Homo-oligomer: A and B are copies of this chain.
Amino acid sequence: MAVSAKLQWVEGLKFSVQVGEGRKIELNSAEQMTEAFTPMELFLVALAGCTSMDLQWILTRERQEIEGLEISIQGTRREVDPRYYEKIDLHFLVRGKHVRRDAVERAIRLSQDEYCSVKAMLKDSVKVNITYTIAGDMKPEETFTYVPSAKTMKAAS
């Protein structure tokens, strides 16, 4: 399956982008944000988005009653070129009735190890730290740290 985009330089570091048959988005440098996005912002959105879609899809198949799913992602860039993310923090807030911790943990694991296409292209040196909070039952919210599977840990070493 092929995915495509076309970019056209506008001025300075501003580019207009056409994705697929005509959806538009605008890129600019970090100093010139208005309605535009930086490439590194879109990269973070791509990574968070693919994992979030996996989670939503897997938890629904597992018959978990999800009422809300909120994701926050923060990437910390290196201070020297290339200024890639040396650390990415990803947090899922899962709201629902009787959502099981093991189901959430398993969904994250399946996404990280088997489904998320963006994650699969990342070098192991890009650390993705994942935490998740389960909320919505009568009991207080609880936050957990996702522990990568042995396979992932081995690959990262």
Show the binding face of A for B, using Cβ within 8 Å. Answer: 1-9, 13, 15, 17, 19-20, 23, 25, 27, 29, 33, 35-50, 52-53, 56-57, 66, 68-77, 79, 81-85, 114-123, 126
Contacts and interface: CB of A to CB of B under 8 A. Distances in A.
B3 A41 contact: yes
* Copies of this chain: 2
Nearest to A73: B5
A69 to B, nearest CB: 4
A37 to B, nearest CB: 6
A9 B68 contact: yes
A25 B37 contact: yes
Contacts of A13: 53, 56-57
